[in-house]
């Protein structure tokens, strides 16, 4: 095992905010060295002109791809707008685009998330839901995990009468490698509260799939 990998230690924190954990960060130099190793592994020469700056760029891109590790979805949802004028029906935000990477191959999966909830105490700013999707998308995980995480944090922080999350995505690890099936999409759902009723799931799905503006 090389020394860079050995120096990493991941420690999961206990308690409800278990999506927060501590990582001993490698240095920029170590990260760039790791990229050079992968370039060699791919069969290229990291010292050739076109690749000289690549390790630095990749290290920088990683900061962006995985910035969700620095963010807390519960904090984003924390500010609830109470004045809903008695609005009790479903709030649905659909077609939230996201870009993520699967934890098995670190290859992108790209798609859309749809989130519905029945407010109880209040509603949250609509853009907050999109930001919550982004927090989890910008981490390594599976689509299934991401779907559950989004539903669970909304359920926990907003305490609505029910949450529905539907994610549809295309996985590059299926299109570019392995079975190489292009254009297939994967759908995952998570329902809580009122959405455990099949009729509510149908209503949610119908609204998600109804023609747009």
Binding string, residues 112-151; x marks residues near Zn ion by CB under 5 A? ----------------------------------------
**Is 173 assigned a catalytic role?**
yes
Q: Which candidate in 102, 114, 141, 200 is catalytic?
A: 102
Sites for Zn ion among residues 74-103 (CB under 5 A): 102
Partners of 186 in the β-ladder: 169
Q: Which stretch binds Zn ion (CB under 5 A): 51-59, 104-112, 184-192, 200-208?
A: 104-112
CB of 177 to Zn ion, least distance (A): 8
**Is 11 assigned a catalytic role?**
no
Q: Which of 105, 112, 156, 203 binds Zn ion (CB under 5 A)?
A: 105
Whole-Å CA distances, 195 to 7, 44, 61, 129, 198: 45, 52, 38, 18, 7
Distance CA 119, CA 158 (A): 8
**Is 83 assigned a catalytic role?**
no
| C-beta closer to Zn ion: residue 91 or 107 | 107
Binding string, residues 164-203; x marks residues near Zn ion by CB under 5 A? ---------x------------------------------
Q: Which of 48, 60, 63, 104 binds Zn ion (CB under 5 A)?
A: 104
**Is 102 assigned a catalytic role?**
yes
**Is 114 assigned a catalytic role?**
no
Distance CA 108, CA 102 (A): 6
Distance CA 87, CA 159 (A): 16
Task: State the burial class of residue 201 (Cβ atoms within 10 Å of its Cβ: 0-12, 13-18, 19+).
Answer: middle
> Which phi-psi region, left, alpha or beta, contains residue 193 (left: φ > 0; alpha: ψ -120 to 50)?
left
Task: State the burial class of residue 13 (Cβ atoms within 10 Å of its Cβ: 0-12, 13-18, 19+).
Answer: exposed
Active-site amino acid positions:
102-105, 143, 171, 173
The residue ranges that bind Zn ion (CB under 5 A) are: 102, 104-105, 173
């Amino acid at each position: 095992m090389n020394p860079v990998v050995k120096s990493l230690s991941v420690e999961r924190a206990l308690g409800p905010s278990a999506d927060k954990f501590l990582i001993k960060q490698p240095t920029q130099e170590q990260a760039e060295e790791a990229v050079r190793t992968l370039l060699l592994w791919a069969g290229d020469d990291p010292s050739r002109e076109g690749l000289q700056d690549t390790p630095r760029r990749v290290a920088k891109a990683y900061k962006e791809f995985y910035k969700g590790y620095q963010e807390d979805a519960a904090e984003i949802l924390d500010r609830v707008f109470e004045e809903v004028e008695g609005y009790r029906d479903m709030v649905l935000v659909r077609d939230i685009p996201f870009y993520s990477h699967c934890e098995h191959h670190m290859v992108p999966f790209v798609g859309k998330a749809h989130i519905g909830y029945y407010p109880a105490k209040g509603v949250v700013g609509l853009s907050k839901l999109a930001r919550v999707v982004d927090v989890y998308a910008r981490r390594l995980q599976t689509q299934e995990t991401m779907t559950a995480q989004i539903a669970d944090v909304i359920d926990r922080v907003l305490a609505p009468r029910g949450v529905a999350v539907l994610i549809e995505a295309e996985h590059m690890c299926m299109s570019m490698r392995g079975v190489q099936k292009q254009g297939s999409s994967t759908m995952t759902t998570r329902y809580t509260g009122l959405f455990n009723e099949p009729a509510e799931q149908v209503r949610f799905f119908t609204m998600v799939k109804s023609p747009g503006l």
